[in-house]
């Protein structure tokens, strides 16, 4: 082990080569940890993404840094972490681009957009209200002295209102559910939930840092303009690419250049606006051509590389910033349980009851509540920003990390409890409109 560490810390004459010799071992370890933990996750009936998230946390101070601090410092020195950050940002942006591009725009049920908006509201409001109320009560105990009661309460409520959009998308893709009526409305609703939460964070950051509400309004306004331009102006310009791929059956070199440039440019713009680049990537995906041949060629060309190489880097980088040593004592554990229950109940029951009111069956409704309740690394990104800007303490950060892990790990078991395999297969095979009356309400199921 000491020989390996000495090798990673060697300094060749060429500084660029030295950096490569430090980055590559880090990538090897990240991919090995993701592969092993992902496999273990599937063995206990969890999606691979949960194992990859845990692998990222274990590579951080929680395990590797606590047991082998010298090894962690050698694998992830200060000059390597910016490289990992860039790779992780590119990976997440491209992954969400593929999610947006893979959504089947042609398969719509009546009122689907309205349902997605209603589901998004039910995913935000209960969690935001309950979380803010709890934060208001716990402000004296948990907050930094320079953070106001309302600021702290809204931050906690905003964090609990998040849905792990990338994780939810990956769970749906792994199970082939992305184009079912449940999959489509949950993807759209989750994207709205996260966008609203990021806008809330922009407002809180502007107030806390003293820049005023004008910057927050500018961020929201520019994000709306960006979305309108992408879907209204850029999307028509990209349609010839879809027709070309439909004729040839493959992605040519020129098409690939355009495909890669669009999401990276979109992510850069949304980062500049003040909204995380993941939303730029997703909107860029929505602007892609809708031809089935194009979507199939795009996913077969890019998805494996992005999900296998770049996403684990994102998980690892987030794990390097995750410290779980801030939770000590019985009273703090009680606070953790209160935050966990508040976040779980607000999202799970809010989304499930709303989905049922929109005309879905009870099984589908509880399934939606389960997968919308996964928070994953979106909340980790959210709270990392809050910690860096001094909005929360290390103890609150640690509690919300555990909320992220536990709600995400519980999402798939609760989903499977609501939707056994035979019901899931039926939902995948169900054509658009089946199971609904002309008013969009669920019709009585056919026996057998």
What integer pLDDT is reported at residue 446 of this predicted model? 29
The pLDDT confidence band at residue 390, using thresholds 50, 70 and 90, is confident
Nearest to 203 by CA among 446, 370, 424, 385: 385
What integer pLDDT is reported at residue 430 of this predicted model? 57
Q: What angle do CA 409, 405, 133 make, to 5 degrees?
A: 110
What integer pLDDT is reported at residue 441 of this predicted model? 35
What integer pLDDT is reported at residue 340 of this predicted model? 92
- Residues 340-348, mean pLDDT to the nearest whole number: 91
3-state class percentages of the chain: helix first, strand second, coil last, to nearest 5: 75, 0, 25
- Residues 140-150, mean pLDDT to the nearest whole number: 83
Task: Return all residues near 229 (Cβ < 8 A) that are at least 6 apart.
Answer: none
What integer pLDDT is reported at residue 326 of this predicted model? 61
- Residues 283-302, mean pLDDT to the nearest whole number: 86
| DSSP conformation letters of 137-197 | HHHHHHS-TTS-HHHHHHHHHHHHT---HHHHHHHHHHTT-TTSHHHHHHHHHHHHHHHHH
| Residue 163, Ramachandran bin (φ over 0: left; ψ between -120 and 50: alpha; else beta) | beta
For the whole model, what pTM was predicted? 0.74
Long-range contacts, stretch 65-69, CB < 8 angstroms, 24+ apart: none
Higher pLDDT, 155 or 205: 155
Beta bridge partners of 436: 442
Please give the structure tokens belonging to residue 370.
Answer: 């389960």
What integer pLDDT is reported at residue 5 of this predicted model? 55
Task: Look at the domain 83-429 and name its fold.
Answer: Na+/H+ antiporter like fold (1.20.1530)
Domain ranges of the chain: 2-82, 83-429
What integer pLDDT is reported at residue 150 of this predicted model? 85
| Cα(446)–Cα(426) distance, integer angstroms | 12
The pLDDT confidence band at residue 434, using thresholds 50, 70 and 90, is very low
What integer pLDDT is reported at residue 195 of this predicted model? 72
| Cα(351)–Cα(23) distance, integer angstroms | 42
* Residues listed for the chain: 448
What integer pLDDT is reported at residue 342 of this predicted model? 92
Report CA-CA distances (Å) from 373 to 77, 231, 334, 420.
35, 29, 21, 18
Q: Helices 292-305 and 235-248 sit at what angle, rounded to 10 degrees?
A: 90
Percent of the chain, pLDDT > 70? Answer: 83
Average pLDDT, the chain: 79
Residue 369 has pLDDT above 80, yes or no: yes
Please give the structure tokens belonging to residue 447.
Answer: 């026996």
pLDDT digits (tens, 9 = 90+) for 227-251: 899 999 999 999 988 888 888 878 8
- Residues 120-131, mean pLDDT to the nearest whole number: 89
Please report which helix (H) or strand (E) contains residue 107, including its range: none
Residue 437 has pLDDT above 50, yes or no: no
Residue 210 has pLDDT above 60, yes or no: no
Q: CB–CB of 85/76 below 8 Å?
A: no
- Residues 424-448, mean pLDDT to the nearest whole number: 43
Q: CB–CB of 167/370 below 8 Å?
A: no
Q: CB–CB of 320/81 below 8 Å?
A: yes
The pLDDT confidence band at residue 436, using thresholds 50, 70 and 90, is very low
The pLDDT confidence band at residue 328, using thresholds 50, 70 and 90, is low
Residue 143 has pLDDT above 80, yes or no: yes
φ, ψ of residue 436 to 5 degrees: the values are -130, 145
What integer pLDDT is reported at residue 11 of this predicted model? 54
Higher pLDDT, 127 or 1: 127
Q: What dihedral do alpha carbons 172, 175, 178, 183 form, nearest 10°?
A: -60
Other Cβ atoms less than 10 A from the Cβ of 310: the count is 18
The pLDDT confidence band at residue 214, using thresholds 50, 70 and 90, is low
Residue 95 has pLDDT above 60, yes or no: yes
What integer pLDDT is reported at residue 27 of this predicted model? 92
What integer pLDDT is reported at residue 440 of this predicted model? 37
| Cα(316)–Cα(104) distance, integer angstroms | 31
What integer pLDDT is reported at residue 364 of this predicted model? 85
């Amino acid at each position: 082990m000491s020989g390996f560490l000495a090798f990673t810390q060697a300094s060749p004459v060429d500084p660029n080569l030295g950096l490569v010799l430090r980055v590559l071992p880090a990538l090897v370890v990240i991919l090995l940890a993701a592969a092993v933990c992902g496999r273990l996750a599937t063995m206990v009936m969890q999606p691979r993404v949960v194992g990859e998230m845990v692998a990222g946390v274990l590579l951080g101070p929680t395990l590797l840094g606590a047991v082998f601090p010298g090894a962690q410092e050698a694998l992830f020195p200060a000059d390597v972490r910016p490289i990992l950050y860039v790779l992780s940002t590119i990976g997440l942006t491209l992954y969400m681009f593929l999610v947006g591009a893979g959504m089947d725009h042609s398969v719509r049920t009546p009122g689907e957009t309205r349902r997605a908006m209603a589901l998004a509201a039910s995913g935000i409001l209960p969690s935001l209200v309950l979380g803010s109320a709890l934060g208001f009560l716990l402000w004296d105990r948990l907050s930094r002295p320079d953070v106001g009661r309302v600021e702290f309460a809204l931050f906690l409520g905003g964090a609990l209102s998040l849905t792990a959009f990338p994780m939810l998308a990956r769970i749906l893709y792994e199970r082939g559910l992305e184009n079912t009526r449940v999959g489509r409305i949950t993807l759209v609703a989750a994207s709205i939930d996260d966008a609203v939460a990021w806008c809330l964070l922009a407002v809180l950051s502007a107030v806390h840092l003293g820049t005023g509400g004008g910057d927050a309004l500018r961020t929201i306004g520019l994000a709306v303009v960006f979305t309108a331009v992408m879907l209204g102006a850029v999307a028509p310009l990209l349609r010839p690419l879809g027709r070309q791929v439909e004729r040839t059956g493959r992605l040519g070199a020129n098409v690939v250049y355009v495909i890669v440039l669009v999401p990276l440019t979109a992510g850069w713009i949304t980062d500049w606006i003040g909204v995380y680049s993941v939303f730029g990537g997703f909107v860029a995906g929505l602007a892609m051509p809708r031809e089935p041949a194009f979507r199939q060629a795009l996913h077969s060309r890019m998805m494996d590389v992005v999900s296998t190489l770049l996403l684990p880097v994102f998980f690892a980088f987030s794990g390097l910033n995750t410290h779980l040593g801030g939770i000590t004592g019985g009273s703090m554990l009680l606070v953790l349980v209160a935050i966990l229950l508040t976040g779980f109940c607000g999202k799970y029951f809010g989304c499930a009851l709303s989905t049922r009111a929109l005309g879905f069956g009870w099984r589908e409704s509880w399934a939606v509540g389960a997968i919308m309740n996964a928070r994953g690394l979106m909340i980790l990104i959210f709270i990392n920003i809050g910690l860096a800007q001094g909005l929360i303490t290390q103890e609150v950060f640690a509690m919300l990390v555990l909320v992220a892990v536990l709600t995400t790990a519980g999402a798939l078991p609760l989903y499977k409890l609501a939707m056994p395999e035979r019901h899931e297969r039926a939902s995948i095979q169900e054509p658009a409109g089946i199971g609904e009356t002309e008013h969009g309400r669920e019709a009585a199921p056919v026996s057998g």
